[in-house]
Structure 1
């Protein structure tokens, strides 16, 4: 039997289709890869069905058989067993007439992945090692890689380990453009140079957009082209309310002819495809031979890109020069905004750098901060700094909201993951968390480059300056420098801390951050009463008030004015400590008690003018 690459040199090879689609049809909807051990008969039946439909190449049922994904099912210690079983099952059905590729899926897909690149490489190599140890494979297939950097580093790590052919398939959000906004031809060319024997596309897009994408890709002298389209776009069945792909096998076959005309030599299917799709491909390519020459159609450029002039009056610019104050207000939980508006206008008179509006803090439902900022924009001269939580928005909503903020001129942001919904007033609500604050920071920076999350052009840049939140109320603050560095790497321009109630924490924060270039705004929240202090001290994780301060409050707890004076004096003492080390003060208004915020603003301004 000729080798896999020998066959590709002279023939069009038909690959298999989706594994998960058919496993779902069998009623198996948990960890697909674990079925190599628990339901081997169903896995082999699917392999057999694709071979009978005409597949020359099948892939192992190991796409997600990495420690990171298997951990979701408590199977992280069975990486080797699951991968080896997947390879052996495929070979048993394939015999010596069908090629078997060991499949490895990308980590950094549309879902959040917090693994470092070193961890990704370690887990990928663990999986690859298990697959190679079986010695039953004809090649390796790396598929569904949205992050080109991840795929190139994986290829560089794996290429020295084996002489087997390596197939690398990239996934796109937009036809012809990678997630970092580059033409797909650049990514595929890079993979060829790094030793990939077959390069191509799979998943997310259907045949039409993959044909359009391949039009810009030349025939490579050292590598062949592969393509595994999805069956179609997903649709919702009106009766069952289930997501379904189109039953379009005939269309798939016609598309296969066009893919061959663009240079594809390995053609299979991804999500939604079945043996019927593969049978249609087999019929369509019967008698066809690979093309030897091709006219490349360059990617049509986007409309002229508008380069924005960057602002020079950001909070970062201000705080690096002078003492800078920002003050936070929580939007109301009701539609009576009179007191809230009164508070905003009173703070606006104090000539501070920004008024910051929280975004459903503590998961309590409040009026949308963007709506309030828009309502008051013409009446208030102080810029608004808007919090944006990942909890309440999927990726579509996040980018949509960010584009809207930019159009409305709200360019100061705080990116936060957000407290889980079970903490708030609607504990049954769903926390979205498509991304955490780290990826949100990166998304905002990508928009500042004029690129959508999908890689498509926005036709002009956004102009955001973005803060990251930081909680210094931890047991070992010195260890937090790694978290700070990660947020800086993700794109944080500056930091806003959680409220601090002890001077020694401010001192420690100054020491820990002395080598950090990004400015810090130190959070100060005045206590409103003795009961408020007791609650914070005993029920809010990470917050500790000094015993001396608590005793002072308790001594005057029945005298409202005396209690308030003790509390404000403590806030002023904390401000004095903060101003010795930091130029940024972040005043957090409790319960719309803006009178306390006004007094502290006056105090800071008096101290800095003295």
Structure 2
């Protein structure tokens, strides 16, 4: 009998936690997955205990079987997984029990700006081992999102007819570590045809999981999963210990979840065979036949934007080139010069003022607070930059809520510059996610909190990246998660312009080309040698007089800016100006080319 055939008529009871049960049973802090090769008898004993308690599905002891958590090479990881599979097979021999290959999150140890295709590849290779060994069910559990596993799921499903279970971990308020809501996570998973069952595990106890599911209006042809923790742990001598002896309460809440329509029920951290025995004895596992012809995938209703790109009320883009000007918040509490610059630009037909978020990892006035002061002072449209370096998902969501109630509806979302090396001993980066992850959070908040006045957000383009195809892939990914526009790094040459043109042709993105009118040879040399991502050529530097006057230097900057506009005006949707030392008066001369 296949798991699909079983689920057509029955609820499925799984095993409980392997890791916390192993740690308590054997009084050890060693990683449980190491036991697959070092203490196979322990693994077998736990599998048998759960089967005897009434579990009809057991998971292989492979949650942390990957190169990062095992600190091993791939050959050792493969050996570990195959050993775990054999132990599970031996435990269910001659019994009508299902085995699921268990896959947990692989920690992303790459830098925020590094492509992480290697993670997707390792997930696929892990899944492939299970398929080769005849395991017909895979469970991806305790994930905060599906960022790196969807490619692996798609690839493995093309080669093998596997039953795929996708489980997310959320907190008491229903949000994952990536800042996404349970509703959003389950809706996204429900829309993936290769996934057969979706749900939640870990993170919360049965009461909170019941409440979270109660807020999710999910109508799907997917089977639904609930594997809560026994409760919440306490720290004892540096260890997380579950003291819960609450099988009656656990069973009561699991019964409520079953009645509400959950198909696959079991336990996560803190649960042991006594919990599984209690729910398998109490639950009526019979259920009505599920019919995919009656139920359809959850449809995510697309919201309509009522405030468009750069504050335009009708949601349309002006025919003229859009103009954005960056004003760098000061490093002190003196904002007089910035206010003067903003008031000057108010009369220059500028579409939006942008404010970077402590670039280069050096403290400046907060970009959102600066943007709000300028908005109130000038009435202009503002767009703070939001980087992922300094805040976790909780702080980010608070920041975005605060921006919205202050009528800030445009954001530039970037991963952010690293903290300078000398400060790293005392100042720690957060990087809870990269720009794509933060865009997902804002997209989620648009649907949950701002359906009538959503945030409009865009991203950055680094046309100087050595492998331009990687940058194109990033742009497309950002567009998939809702990015509506892009600002490039400053363009200083025809080659730079041609690379931006190629990105535009490859993606169809709405692009504002970066223009930085450098004001002297010293300024140009500094940008070339000190600022990452800015490609100032030697030819550009030579165009500035070695000992030129202020006026001569500015004149060269204006001339180069006009040339860049000529190179790009056939494809650019607008221009993003960044003036050294806030010399915004140069815009008057440059705009004669527009």
Which stretch shows the higher mean deviation, 521-530 or 544-553? 544-553
Structure 2 match to 1:300: none
Question: 2:296 is matched with which residue?
Answer: none
Q: What is the rounded CA distance, in whole Å, between the counterparts of 1:310 and 1:506 in structure 2?
A: 33
Q: Find the residue that maps to 2:250 and give its secondary structure.
A: helix
- 1:276-315 paired onto structure 2 within 5 Å: 278-283=273-278, 285-286=280-281, 289-291=284-286, 310-312=306-308, 314=310
Who is 1:464 aligned against? Answer: 455
Q: Which secondary structure does the structure 1 equivalent of 2:575 belong to?
A: strand
* Corresponding residue number in structure 2 for 1:604: 590
Q: Is the 8 A contact 1:109 1:146 kept in 2?
A: no
What is aligned with 1:492? 483
Between the aligned partners of 1:49 and 1:490, the Cα distance in structure 2 is: 44
Q: Which structure 2 residue ranges, 5 or more long, are not aligned? A: 290-300
CA contact (8 A) 2:62 2:101 kept: yes
Tell me what 1:333 maps to.
331
Which digits, 9 at most, give the CA deviation of each residue in 1:453-480, with x for residues without a partner? xxxxx37344222221111224465774
Partner of 1:81: 79
Matched residue, 2:37: 37
- Give the counterpart of 1:517 among 500, 508, 514: 508
Q: Which residue among 535, 540, 561 is the counterpart of 2:531?
A: 540
Is residue 2:418 matched to residue 1:420?
A: yes
Report which of the two structures shows the higher radius of gyration computed on alpha carbons: 1
The match for 1:555 among 525, 546, 551 is 546
Query: Take 2:141 and 2:252, find their aligned partners in 1: how far apart are those partners?
Result: 24
In structure 2, the residue matched to 1:62 is: 62
Q: Is the 8 A contact 1:121 1:157 kept in 2?
A: no
Q: 1:27 to 1:405 in 2, by over 3 A?
A: farther
CA change 1:563–1:41 in 2 (3 A) is farther
Q: RMSD value over aligned CA atoms?
A: 4.9
* Alpha-carbon distance, 1:348 to partner: 2.6
Change (3 A) 1:48 1:566: same
Tell me the distance in 1 between the aligned counterparts of 2:216 and 2:440. 29
Query: Helix, strand or coil for the counterpart of 1:443?
Result: helix
Q: Which residue of 2 aligns with 1:249?
A: 246
TM-score (norm 1): 0.75
| C-alpha displacement of 1:389 | 0.8
1:436 to 2:437 alignment: no
1:342-400 CA-to-partner distances (Å, cap 9, x unmatched) read: 33223333331111100111111111111122223221122111101122222222222
Q: 1:605 & 1:287 partners in 2: Cα distance?
A: 75
Q: Displacement, 1:85?
A: 0.9
Matches within 5 A, 1:349-360: 349-360=347-358
The 1-side partners of 2:86 and 2:302 are apart by 55
Report the 3-state secondary structure (helix = DSSP H, G, I; strand = E; otherwise coil) of the residue aligned with 1:347: helix
Match of 1:582 among 572, 576, 587: 572
Partner residue, 1:168: 165
CA contact (8 A) 1:185 1:216 kept: no
Could you say what secondary structure the match of 2:428 adopts?
A: coil
Alpha-carbon distance change, 531 to 379 in structure 1, aligned in 2, over 3 angstroms: same
Aligned to 1:302: none
2:366 aligns with: 368
Q: Which deviates further from its counterpart, 388-397 or 537-546? A: 537-546
Q: CA–CA distance in 1 between the matches of 2:309 and 2:216? A: 44
Q: What displacement does 1:586 show?
A: 1.4
Which range is displaced more, 119-128 or 526-535?
Answer: 119-128
Shift of 1:489: 2.7
Partner secondary structure for residue 586 of structure 1: strand
Task: Name 1:273's counterpart in structure 2.
Answer: 270
TM-score by length of 2: 0.77
Counterpart Cα distance in 1 of 2:535 and 2:200 = 54
Structure 1 residue aligned with 2:407:
409
3-state SS, counterpart of residue 323 of structure 2: strand
Q: Deviations over 1:271-319 (max 9, x none)?
A: x2242xx31442464476534579xxxxxxxxxx997761356379786
Moved more, 532-541 or 48-57: 48-57
